[in-house]
Each structure stands twice: as structure tokens, then as C-alpha cells.
Amino acid sequence: MSKPIIAVTIGRAHYTRIFSEAAWRALDAFAEVIHHPKEEPANKADLLALLPPADACITGWDVAPIDADVLAAAPKLRAIAHTGGSVKRFVSEAVWARNIHVTSAAPALAQDVAETTLGLIIVGVKRILPLSQHVREGGWREHPAWPAREVHSSVIGIVGASNVGRRVIELLRPFHASILLYDPYVNETEATRLGVTKVELAELARRADVISLHAPALPSTRHMIDRSLLRLMKDDAVLINTARGALIDEEALVEELAKGRFFAFLDVTDPEPPAPDSPLRRLPNVVVTPHLAGCITDCTHLGEMAVEELRRFFAGEPPLNRITPDQFGRIG
């Protein structure tokens, strides 16, 4: 039986970053591979030229949307494996109308983001940033941020049991911290299985020493961390956002940070990057990083997962992370 034809659309400039040699060997073992010839990800015209013979394609960040025109030119296409996290930007209604099998490497990407989040939790509860600055200025322990705290005696609030949120919960398990979870889609049984206490968002804001955001960016979650929630936070709390900037009302956040009440780590902002004159670039109790929580230079685990998803699809085996139309509305 002939091998399926799989089109790689991510652009050759990104091959080393996304695909390991093992991934290429695994792909060649079950498929005939065709390549988008340009350095950068395929635009719509590129997809129209590349996909007509393809049974499946591998997509990535900045590939053009798979819209009705593209699908009309690709009558054989049955599966899409995305090497990034969210498929929201490029999967169209036409994809669902054709019943195309869609997968995402979000669980692989989640590991990187969760590890970064864990690091920020530890740095935050130990108050390393304000205390190190105090020492640099000639001080020692006579500072409002002293004493530093421990993770095991902290209350960690997780907002969103996404792939990342769940992985953060797993990484926190050895620390024996008390974990609160806000997620309207998680019931009490699932919360118990995760080892967390399900609470409403206002209670989480009041009780948590650390609040870590892992919700999708949706109309319903825009500015979910608003002025009233921010005012409920403990004066010495830590707020971490490695999800999406739009989850926080940044005008309200700046007002609260300006009071010096709590510390924030923002890997994402809204807009991104912050304006050159944004107070987020100057306030001493906030650290803004350039959207680096996920993988940066070595994302080969994403390519490996995408290849494995397609191997499973053509072998008739269960997928690792299939995205379905009913899930699509909850993806940011």
C-alpha cells in the first residue's frame, strides 16, 4: 500500500528548531514527505500550491489559515497536525465541515511553560527580586519583603486547568503546597483527582499567596482579573501570567502595583510588547519578560509529537491530543 503524502508547511528556516533527526526518520518511515520550499511559513498562495496532493499537513506558528479556498484546492487532505499550542488562528469552520482530523502539540508545549511558571513561583515566594535589589543597594534583611517564604506553606491559586495549568499542578505536587483551582469546566470529582480545592475566583484571589493564570483568551475571559479581583489580593501576594495578556485589566493592574501591594511576573501583556512609556516597564514590583515561557531555541519535542500524531492517525491508533469542534470554543 502506498504511503500517505504529508506536507510540511512551517518553512525551512524553522526546521532545526522544530524537528529533530528522530522526527524526520519517524516521518519518512510511514509517509512520503513534501516540503514548502521557502524559508518562512507558508502563506495562502503557498498552501494553494503545496496541498493539492497531500493527505495531511504539519502546520506551525505563522502558517496561513486553512480556509475554504485552501481546502477546496486540497481534496485529499484528511488530517492536520499543529506543532504549536492553540489551533484557533488557522483552523476554519471549513475544516470542521470536512471532518478533518486536527491535533495540537499543546501538551508538549505545556511542559516548557509549566516549568517556567514553577520557577517564577519559587522566585516569587522567596522574594528574590526585591530582596536582591535591596542587597544591591546596601541593605540586608531589614526590608518589607523579608522574611522570604516557602512553597510548601504557601497557598497557590491556579486559574484554568488547561494543559499548562494541569502540568503546573503536577510539578507542585512534591512541594505539598495547598492548591486552589478556579475553572468552571472542572467538577468536584475532577478537582479531587487533581489534588486541588475547587473555588470561585473571588475566593482564590482572597486566599492565594500566589495566583498563576492559565486560562484561554476568549471574550468571556477578557479582563477576568479586573479591578475588583486585584483589590481582593493579599498585600504580599505574587501574580504570574504566562498565559495571555488580555486576561488582566492592565490599567487596573498598574494602579494596584503602583501601591506596592504585591509583585507581578508578566510573560505576556496586552498589548504585546508594552508601550515604551508603559508603567509596567518602570514599576519596581513587576517583572515583564518577552513571551519566553514556552520553548524558544529547542522545540523539537513539538515536532516529534506532531509526527507521532500523524503516525497514529494513519495507523488507526488513538490520538494523543485531538482537537474537536466542541473543544474549539474553549481554546484561546
Catalytic residues: 244, 272, 291
Three state DSSP letters for the chain: CCCCEEEECCCHHHHHHHCCHHHHHHHHHHCEEEECCCCCCCCHHHHHHHCCCCCEEEECCCCCCECHHHHHCCCCCCEEEECCCCCCCCECHHHHHCCCEEEECHHHHHHHHHHHHHHHHHHHHCCHHHHHHHHHCCCCCCCCCCCCCCCCCCEEEEECCCHHHHHHHHHHHHHCCEEEEECCCCCHHHHHHHCCEECCHHHHHHHCCEEEECCCCCCCCCCCECHHHHHHCCCCCEEEECCCHHHECHHHHHHHHHCCCCEEEECCCCCCCCCCCCHHHCCCCEEECCCCCCCCCCCHHHHHHHHHHHHHHHHCCCCCCEECHHHHCCCC
